[in-house]
Amino acid sequence: KILIHPDAARAAGAVADRIADLLAARPGAVLGLATGGTMEPVYAALIDRAGQGRFPAARFTSFNLDEYVGLGPDHPQSYHVYMRRHLFGPLGLPPGQAHLPRGDAPDLEAEAARYEAAIAAAGGIDLQLLGIGANGHIGFNEPSSSLVSRTRVKTLARKTVEDNRRFFGPGEPVPRHALTMGIGTVMDAAEVVLLATGAAKAQAVAAMVEGPLSASCPASILQMHAKATLVCDRAAAAALR
């Protein structure tokens, strides 16, 4: 399904509504969450809806897609801190319900296996939220990633490192590796909602929706998902035929 909204705020609001509706219907639902600039208005809208009493905010379980290798959970640029700042803190989510992979684990392979097992033990992901990279990545599954991959360490594409630079201070090193759910992990979610906003995503959106199914655009695998929704604004939809 493809939903095109006039602007980014309304697209983000629609995604927050879908999540709030799921949590209202099933308070213990398992969410797969994403980070990045695109998700900030989604989380702000979700906090609003929780404030309006539209769902019991403290009852869901979540698993984030990814974390930078080498950053501990208190590093200001870590996704742990991002999630506490933008969602878990304001919602008052009790610790232990919100999971992220540990990018500072001494054995990253064991951490990846532990993370996959934790998702399975929670009963799997009911709704996976995704953004998309300008190169078509989902999570940090960069072009050429195996379409059946599981959680593992990935080297970030040069373009992704450059795109992420804006979140780091001048001169601060930008991580080059991430621990990320695999494409197979994402495809196992019962439902997937991908949000894309802004003109910088237009080519990736067109390749995902209209291009061939190919590891050179990892998001194109979502053509094969039984319940996938693309929510975008007009700018991100501009290259669709």
- Does 89 participate in binding ligand F6R (rule CB under 6 A)? no
Q: Which of 5, 86, 126, 135 is catalytic?
A: 135
- Does the annotation count 164 as an active-site position? no
- Does 138 participate in binding ligand F6R (rule CB under 6 A)? yes
Q: Which of 13, 32, 36, 175 binds ligand F6R (CB under 6 A)?
A: 36
- Does 29 participate in binding ligand F6R (rule CB under 6 A)? no
- Does 41 participate in binding ligand F6R (rule CB under 6 A)? no
Tell me the residue number closest to ligand F6R, measured at CB: 131
- Given the rule CB under 6 A, which of 28-36, 109-117, 118-126, 182-190 is the region that contacts ligand F6R? 28-36
φ/ψ (deg, to 5) at 200: -65, -15
- Does the annotation count 48 as an active-site position? no
CB of 192 to ligand F6R, least distance (A): 12
- Does 37 participate in binding ligand F6R (rule CB under 6 A)? yes
- Given the rule CB under 6 A, which of 114-122, 133-141, 183-191, 220-228 is the region that contacts ligand F6R? 133-141
- Does 131 participate in binding ligand F6R (rule CB under 6 A)? yes
- Does 78 participate in binding ligand F6R (rule CB under 6 A)? no
> Which pair of structure tokens corresponds to residue 36?
């990045």
- Does 65 participate in binding ligand F6R (rule CB under 6 A)? yes
Strand partners, 232: 4, 196
Q: Mind spelling out the 3-state secondary structure of the chain?
A: CEEEECCHHHHHHHHHHHHHHHHHHCCCCEEEECCCHHHHHHHHHHHHHHHCCCCCHHHCEEEECEEECCCCCCCCCCHHHHHHHHHHHHHCCCCCCEECCCCCCCCHHHHHHHHHHHHHHCCCCCEEEECCCCCCCECCECCCCCCCCCCEEEECCHHHHHHHHHHCCCCCCCCCEEEECCHHHHHCCCEEEEEECCHHHHHHHHHHHHCCCECCEHHHHHHHCCCEEEEEEHHHHCCCC
- Does the annotation count 135 as an active-site position? yes
- Does the annotation count 137 as an active-site position? yes
> Which pair of structure tokens corresponds to residue 224?
């094969």
CB of 25 to ligand F6R, least distance (A): 25
How large is the angle between the packed helices 8-25 and 40-51, nearest 10 degrees?
50
- Given the rule CB under 6 A, which of 47-55, 95-103, 114-122, 135-143 is the region that contacts ligand F6R? 135-143
- Does 38 participate in binding ligand F6R (rule CB under 6 A)? yes
- Does 66 participate in binding ligand F6R (rule CB under 6 A)? yes
Contact positions vs ligand F6R (CB under 6 A): 34-38, 65-66, 131, 133, 137-139
Instruction: Give catalytic residues, as residue numbers.
Output: 66, 135, 137, 142
